[in-house]
Structures are given as C-alpha cells and as structure tokens.
Structure 1
Amino acid sequence: MTATIGILALQGDVREHARALEHAGARAVPVRRTAELEAVDGLVIPGGESTTIDKLLRAFELFEPLQQRLREGLPTYGSCAGMILLADRVLGGAEGQQTLGGLDVTVRRNAFGRQVDSFETDLAFEGIEDSVEDPLHAVFIRAPWVEEVGPEVTALARVENGPAAGRIVAVRQGPLLATSFHPEVTGDSRVHRLFVQIVRDSR
C-alpha cells in the first residue's frame, strides 16, 4: 500500500518536495489543517524561514497538534528550516523562537552564513548505500548545522571540505530525519527514498 506523506504547506519548497516524494513511490499531499495532518503516514517540513514557519504553525493552530503527533512517533523529515524546527535546542535563534522538538540535537541557525554564503558540495550519506561512489550533491541556503547530538541520534553526513569540514549536516533519531541541505532542488530523490522507507517501516 502506498504511503501518504504530507508536506507542511505554509512556506518553502512544497512542490519540489512533492515531486521528489512521488518519484520515490509515495503519495504526497499538502498539510495546512489539523484534519490533513491526522490523515498522513509521515510528514515533510520544508525549508524556508524557521521563525516564520513557527508563527504560521500557531496561526493555523497546527503547532500543538503537530507536536503531539511527533511525540506519538509520526515519521517526519525536516530540511534546512525543518531541521531547526525539529531540534530540541537552537543556537542563534530569534527572540522567543520555539521549536517543535523531538530531535535530541543542538542546531546552530544560519551557521553557514547569509544568503550570499550559500554553497554546494558533495556528501557521503550513511544509509544511502551508493553515496560513497556516487555522492549526494547538496545545496546549502542559509543553512544550519548540528553542533551536538544526543546518544540516540545518528550523524548521517558531514561536510568533507572547506572551513566547515567535519560539521554534521544530516541526522536521524528513530523515525525523525533531518538535513541542513535541500535535496528537493537537485533532482536526486535518494534522501526522499530513504524517508519513504522510514515511513513504510514504521507502519
């Protein structure tokens, strides 16, 4: 049976994530209301501006229902701002900024710099078997990185070159997956295929 995966459709690359999920064999649907959230097997929180998404979650009365579903084990993938929203702790956040939490990590917001400091690099990614021979091409746009991980968190990818070498840019904790980068913009659906498998395994 095909997994139905929602995409939080308040801001960010909703169509691009939908295309990648469908290419990975899932049914993708937008989520803006509690009833839509309750009907999905998994959720993607796309990039955008984490403080804005936080405010929109409250305006749409989705913050607490989503937080509850996360506590119940809803498989969720957050890219860029989505990683920040899933993190238990944020460095460099705006005053009053809150997160949904669930990932036992400390994330540094805008760690790589401003929009003009956006960059691309290739990554080996644990859990994607061919990523050593055929690295993932990762696009970073005002991206966070992970400063610390808790004992239940697995670091899946690190920057290999440049001043940020060694920084963690992908993590997993149980049914939660997060990346600093935007795999939805490259045409490579391997991260989305991994998440679809996480959703299937959790059903």
Structure 2
Amino acid sequence: MMGTPVIGVLALQGDVREHLTALAAAGAAARPVRRPEELDELDGLVLPGGESTTMSKLATLFGMLEPLRERIGSGLPVYGTCAGMIMLADKILDPRSGQGTFGGIDMIVRRNAFGRQNESFEAAVEIPEIDGGPVEGVFIRAPWVESVGARVQVLAEHGGHIVAVRQGRVLATSFHPELTGDHRVHRYFADMVRDAQ
C-alpha cells in the first residue's frame, strides 16, 4: 500500500513484540526478521534493545552480521534502541571479547553507561526534531554516546550525555520509546523510511 513502509524488527533477541506494536501504531507494516533473505522485502529495519553481546553472537550464528552491514552501508534506513544503538556504533568503548557491530553511525558508545539493571530509570527527553513536547525515555542498562563524527546529528542529551543521534538514514536512541505507549519516535523513523523510498 502506498505510503505504508514495510519495516522489520530484528527478531533474534530483545523486545521485538513492543517494537512491532509501536511501528504498526506509527503507520508501518511491521514484521519480525530472522533470516538474511527477509532483508530484501524491507523498506526499513529496527534493532531492538536486549543484550548487545548476545545480539552480536546471534547475528553471526544466523548469518545476519555481514548482510546487515552491507544493507546499512548501502542506505537501508535503520533505527536502534539501547543494545540496537550499540550495534549501530562504528566503535564500542568497552566491547566484550569478540563483540562485533553492524556499524552505520560514526560514534563511540559506552555500554551500560547509566548503570546496572537496578539503576534503570525513566526520564523526560527533549528531542527538538519531534513535536509535542518531551518523550518519555526508559533507560535500562542503557548506553550513552561518548563522541560523534562530523556527519552525526545529536538529537538529544540527558544528564550531559548524548542519548539520541542520527546519521543520514540511521537513527539510534539509548532509551526504549517502545515501552511507553508514545509512538512519536517510531513515527519519526517511519517518516524517515518514507522519505527514503
């Protein structure tokens, strides 16, 4: 259907169902993705939160690591939340042994920067690119961005740290908007995908 982008959610690990729900509410045709051949059917892709080391290992195991690197490099719109942000970083400050990323954003991220699981929190995050006031950010063992390259647009900060960025067709947030019922960030991404069609 014209104007309805097909957006996949990488369904190897993490909060897949919540992203599918948020994307559908944002006007996209959402579907889980597990195999490289499914990438050819997509207009965009979401990398969910979860555990970035596990996600890296599963992406390798399922044969998704290299195909995703190639698709992101060739312009597939992608949005990563939390662990998905880590997977989109060109460099991780403190990677686990053997941990790889898909890359796509010229940034250095710090894993679990906001603390352990029991230090998780919610906070209002001001994103000027998104209308309607602050979005509610759910930070769960969240990373932050240590530094960005010249082509990266910083969309939001919290506590003096970068928590949302965009480079061309690639978007990333430290937090989980899919857990709040507020679908404006997913709508913003769906619009990015439409613009790329």
TM, length-normalised to structure 2? 0.97
The structure 2 residue matched to 1:184, chosen from 178, 182, 185, is 178
Query: After superposition, where does 1:1-203 map in structure 2 within 5 Å?
Result: 1=2, 2-131=4-133, 135-159=134-158, 165-203=159-197
Root-mean-square deviation over aligned CA pairs: 0.7
Give structure 1 stretches of 5+ with no counterpart.
160-164
Which range moved further: 149-158 or 88-97?
Answer: 88-97
Q: How many residues align?
A: 195
Question: Counterparts of 1:126 and 1:114 in 2: how far apart (Å)?
Answer: 29
Whole-Å separation in 2 of the counterparts to 1:34 and 1:136? 33
Counterpart-to-counterpart distance in 2, 1:90 and 1:62? 19
Q: Classify the secondary structure of the residue corresponding to 2:132.
A: helix
- Secondary structure of the 2:115 match is coil
Q: 2:123 & 2:36 partners in 1: Cα distance?
A: 37
Q: Deviations over 1:78-123 (max 9, x none)?
A: 0000000000011122112111111000100010111011111101
Deviation by residue 1:148-173 (Cα, 9 ceiling, x = unmatched)? 011000110111xxxxx111100000
- SS for the counterpart of 1:129 is coil
Question: Percent of counterpart pairs with the same letter?
Answer: 61
Structure 2 alignment gaps of length 5 or more? none
Q: Secondary structure at the match of 2:97?
A: coil
Alpha-carbon deviation of 1:38?
A: 1.3
Report how far residue 126 of structure 1 moved. 2.5
Cα distance between partner residues in 1 of 2:130 and 2:140: 23
